[in-house]
Amino acid sequence: MSERPGPTARVRVRELTGASARDRRDDLATEEPLEIRLTSLDGARRTVAITMRTPGHDFELAAGFLHAEGLVTPGRIAAIGYCTDEDVPPEARYNTVTVRLRGPIPDLPALDRHFLTSSACGVCGSASLDVLRDRCRPVPSGDVELTPEVLYGLPDRLRAAQGVFGKTGGLHAAGLFTPEGEALAVREDVGRHNAVDKLTGWAALAGRLPLDRHVLMVSGRASYEIMQKALAAGVPVVCAVSAPSSLAVDVAREFGMTLVGFLRGERCNVYAGHERVRA
């Protein structure tokens, strides 16, 4: 068995400052492929995705991806482990995750679109709001309410939990919070969508879904993929440090979600669902 990759890698760099130069070591965020396979008790198997990710919480990433894409519900998962199939070379064992299902592998023709994706673009798996309407219901209005003070504190609390970012400066993060601002879990990855999948996978494997009384905070921008994954997990409130995309706003308004963008310092924009923010 080859060595298991870690979340960081060390390299030699030449640092230039003004007219001077010095050689030193630098920590980088690791980026490696992860293949997600489905297997059944009758021996059938199928690769559903190959995504570039930062190693760590790989089983959560697989579970979160399958749930967000509407492919496999958490209750159908019997076990998750690193692959030991003979066709996988030893150096790739920790980059291949096998999800064993209870019962047969379902007929999933939509998986034909899931091949190689990068950590930058993500695997959204849904081309339009029409697809989401078929798969997802609007989030319940419930009694989730946030104060501006709680919102303003989320970015700092997310940043404080980013251990790998502190070493590399090159990772995104997604954090799950209570309406009172308590951090429940934070995950990091080179891809925003992977960080969210790891987070929702953690919740799925722990039997915490739906997350209908929680707040999702993400570093960077709020994209369609982020909103899709949050909606699949039942998250009513999504906050982002940067801007949302137009389609992200459309998803939030269509499905009754609260979307907060440009959350920095003591300011933010509420693009949808402002009734959950007590101002």
Any idea which residue has 């760590």 for tokens? 56
Please list the alpha-helical segments (H only) found in the chain. Answer: 58-68, 129-135, 148-160, 163-168, 192-205, 224-233, 246-254
Phi, psi of 26 (to 5 degrees): -140, 145
Residue 182 is labelled as binding a ligand: no
Residues 6+ apart with CB under 8 A from 246: none
Is residue 100 marked as binding?
no
The answer to whether 81 is a known ligand-binding residue is no
Q: Tell me if 201 is assigned to a ligand binding site.
A: no
Concerning whether 121 is annotated as a catalytic residue, the answer is yes
Q: Are 9 and 31 in contact (CB under 8 A)?
A: no
Q: What are the phi and psi torsion angles at 133 (to 5°)?
A: -65, -35
Asked if 24 and 15 count as a contact pair (C-beta separation under 8 A), the reply is: yes
User: Is residue 57 a contact partner of residue 65, using CB atoms and an 8 Å limit?
Assistant: no
What are the C-alpha distances in Å from 71 to residues 38, 44, 53, 191? Answer: 10, 16, 20, 21
Pick the catalytic residue from 83, 121, 124, 239. 121
**265 labeled part of a ligand binding site:** yes
Cα–Cα distances in angstroms (integers) from residue 72 to residues 19, 51, 195, in the given order: 57, 17, 19
264 annotated to bind ligand = yes
Secondary structure class of 141 (helix, strand, coil): coil
Structure tokens belonging to residue 234: 């039942």
Instruction: Say if CB 222 and CB 243 are below 8 A apart.
Output: yes
What are the catalytic residues?
Answer: 121
Annotated binding site: 262-267
